[in-house]
Amino acid sequence: MLSVKNVNQYYGGSHILRDVSLTAERGKVTVVLGRNGVGKTTLLKSLMGLVPIKSGSIELEGRPIQQWTPYQRARAGIGFVPQGREIFARLSLEENLRMGLAGRPAGTPIPGELFELFPVLRQMRGRRGGDLSGGQQQQLAIARALAAGPRLLVLDEPTEGIQPSIIKDIGRVIRMLADRGDMAIVLVEQYYDFAQELADHYVVMERGEVVARGEGRDMEAQGVRRLVAI
């Protein structure tokens, strides 16, 4: 589904991403781990076209997309859940979900499945986004990314600042989406136990480079917890 090869990216004179490569397969969760400041969020912004890459390639289903705009990538089937959620505080929950349908024909209904995945959202359709709790906002951000039916879902720190009960709900939804087999998921995460539970594959970054990769089931044996410990 996704192939990233030898991507380099700079901010000014700082070399932020250094020959980063990874893949994401349908039906699998690829987890990207690393301490703060190692380039994880920059990698995701590069995947979405929010920051340009200097060299390397990004392919979606075999098509090079590194020159595409963010909206072209979204329309091609990439859903993005940014760090900090970035929901529209003054819009209602339902209006936020409709923003996820911006690339679809006018009148496209909000998929009912979103309320099955996150039942709490059904009860709050008329509330403003800014009136929701942090956990509810995170569920809304994920649902908004899912509204257009992406084939690749990219999540940046979805557990940040979220209470444990909602973290479990979010983990359940991520696993369910992957197990359906029609979507690839890239998850950047600091919470090691959450990442280990979901990972089919993992990548560890340090100073803008990939320093370890492997199968999720091998993370403990390969000492990944030590690599990402603060």
Work out the average pLDDT over 112-135. 88
Q: Taking a C-beta distance cutoff of 8 angstroms, is the pair 118, 166 a contact?
A: no
Task: Encode pLDDT of 50-67 as tens digits.
Answer: 999 999 999 999 999 999
Query: What is the C-alpha to C-alpha distance for residues 60 and 72, in angstroms, rounded to an integer?
Result: 12
Task: Encode pLDDT of 167-193 as tens digits.
Answer: 999 999 999 999 999 999 999 988 889
User: What 8-state DSSP symbol labels residue 163?
Assistant: -
Distance in angstroms between the alpha carbons of the first and the last residue of the chain: 32
**Sheet arrangement for strand 2-11:** 14-24, 2-11, 55-60, 63-64
Percent of the chain whose pLDDT exceeds 90: 60
Task: Encode pLDDT of 67-107 as tens digits.
Answer: 999 999 999 999 999 887 788 889 999 889 988 887 777 77
Residue 142 Cα to chain centre, angstroms: 9
For residue 221, pLDDT over 70 is answered with yes
Say which residues have a Cβ less than 8 Å from residue 65's Cβ, sequence separation at least 6. 49, 58, 59, 72, 73, 76
Say whether domain 2-228 belongs to CATH 3.40.50.920: no
| Identity of the residue numbered 143 | A
Backbone phi, psi, residue 70, to 5°: -55, -40
For residue 225, pLDDT over 70 is answered with yes
pLDDT score of 78? 94
* Partners of 60 in the β-ladder: 2, 63
For the chain, the average pLDDT equals 90
User: What 8-state DSSP symbol labels residue 131?
Assistant: G
pTM: 0.90
**Which residue ranges make up each domain of the chain?**
2-228
